[in-house]
Amino acid sequence: MDLLERLSHTPLLCDGSMGTQLIARGLESGACGELWNLTHSDEVEAIHRAYRDAGCNLITTNTFGATSSVLARHGQQHLADELNEKAVRLARHAVGGNCYLLGNIGPFGDFIEPLGTATQAEVTELFRQQAASLKRGGADAIIIETMSDPVEMRLAIHAAKKIANWPVIATYAFNAPVEGVFRTMMGTTVDQAITEAISAGADVVGANCGTGLSLNDYVDLAREVVKIAGNTPVIIQPNAGSPKVINNRTTYTATPREMAQMVQPLLDAGVRIIGGCCGTTPLYLAAMSDKLHRKM
């Protein structure tokens, strides 16, 4: 069944963090995790399989930093096409046909004119190239994550929609609220961010990751997004609580049980897809799956 059709009948569970899992399997902090699609595909497959086994319905490809502009920081931009296509194929090999595969697109890594030097045409081309490779690999849909700039979001949505008539999920990262107001790093409000994504053609909108949000903040944020999104389904992918720095490492402190306790409030707020971001693991998603799928 088509993802959006399925979503109209039942809430779905997306997966959790990829980066946390790659580091747990030996990726050095700061190294190019997307390269593992080519060099350590067994490890990446094992992570996808663990999320499927945890009960996740939507599996996200290991391509968050696989625009050629971000790969260029690691000197790997020549591998962009191969790496994105392979990421989808290995995810499909890992989880089979019962999960939806979301081709993951993250920020291109810089600022668009006039704040930065990248032109809108250049940025559009980066996203077009990545979306095309994800399509060749067989992705069912696209998820554009952790965006701060609504202009960049619009370019990414347009690029993905030009490649195929597939669902496009669009999520922003918001900072902890100041006097009750959530904004992205660029200062964009929830209303501006979500309205822009919907008008650009996003089929599902919401938030992932973010800086310093408590679990309760995510529920407040969800209510605000749902109100603005109207008939457009909403996705929320929280971090495992707010981070603490312990021994120079950022550690997320919410437990799987605490994350699972957010499932009902998020559903009550009207959220249709719940997943996890930084600090979440298959254990967290299994606990969340228990809550989510027990109601169905």
Judged by the rule CB under 5 A, the positions of this chain that interact with Zn ion are: 209, 277-278
Nearer to Zn ion, 41 or 146 (CB): 146
Residue nearest Zn ion by beta-carbon distance: 209
Nearer to Zn ion, 132 or 271 (CB): 271
Quote the CA–CA distance of 84 and 40 in Å, as a whole number. Answer: 14
In the chain the beta strands, taken as DSSP E runs, fall at 12-13, 58-60, 100-105, 141-147, 168-172, 204-208, 234-237, 243-246, 249-252, 273-274
Nearer to Zn ion, 245 or 296 (CB): 245
Q: Give the residues across from 60 on adjacent strands.
A: 102
Nearer to Zn ion, 213 or 269 (CB): 213
CB of 214 to Zn ion, least distance (A): 15
Per the CB < 8 A criterion, the answer to whether 166 and 178 are in contact is: no
- Unique residue bearing structure tokens 């700061």: 30
Walk across the sheet containing 234-237 and list its strands.
Answer: 12-13, 273-274, 234-237, 204-208, 168-172, 141-147, 100-105, 58-60
- Unique residue bearing structure tokens 């979306």: 131
CB of 206 to Zn ion, least distance (A): 13
CB of 223 to Zn ion, least distance (A): 21
Nearer to Zn ion, 11 or 238 (CB): 238
Q: 3: closest CA among 117, 100, 136, 148?
A: 100
CB of 185 to Zn ion, least distance (A): 13
CB of 238 to Zn ion, least distance (A): 9
Nearer to Zn ion, 141 or 278 (CB): 278
CB of 278 to Zn ion, least distance (A): 3
SS3 201: coil
